[in-house]
Structure 1
Amino acid sequence: DRHLDEYLANIAVQGTPDDMLEAARYFQTLPQQEDRAILLYHKAGLTSKAIDLAFRHERYSALAQIADSVGKNADPTQVTRMADYFMQLKQFDKAVDLLAAIDRVDEAADLAIRNEIPLTEE
């Protein structure tokens, strides 16, 4: 039932990482519920799994949300994959932020300069 799924998603987001993972696995089995699974995997700390699932199911808005919160602990391969995707879309600001987040500062700076993206200390 749709209302129960919505309730479960809301409860899981507030729960422990294990709760989030269990709910994410459940939502991953349901049609049209990939966005919930992606969000829960990401919030539970499995960002690489969330990114992979987002690419597999072409959930690019979910990728944009993940991109906004990627940190130094993220898998550099997956973050590079996201940066490449945003470069293809000419969303160079997101690509610059992603590259900088994984300490590819020279590459991020070069991309920013070539595409007239303002650089900050962050």
Structure 2
Amino acid sequence: MISNVCVLGAGRMGSSIARTLLDRGCPTWVWNRTAAKCEPLAALGAKVAPSVEAGIEAAELVIINVLDYAASEALLKRGDVASALAGKAVVQLTSGSPRLAREEARWVE
């Protein structure tokens, strides 16, 4: 069983996923570029990650749910994110083409 999850992106879908995880008692970290979007989730018990790297490091499973692959790439290819992702399970829910999904999958592997 996964003990910690990080949801990157707290829009409608990311917030719904985080709420469902919290409802089921799963320790959940959330991050959004607009930190205020994480506040309602924090009120439900989510831990707000101060950075993408911190959220990833705290979790076994990382759920990426941002606007598009350009936004996802901007998050994942900066700083120490690549090393933080090592050994993590990653679920990519970002919208885009199959080609972009394959490219990002190769990078994450």
TM interval, short-chain normalised = 0.3 to 0.5
Bigger relative CO (Cα 8 Å, ≥ 6 apart): 2
TM-score normalised per structure 2: 0.34
Select the structure that is richer in strand.
Answer: 2
TM-score normalised per structure 1: 0.32
Select the structure that is richer in helix.
Answer: 1
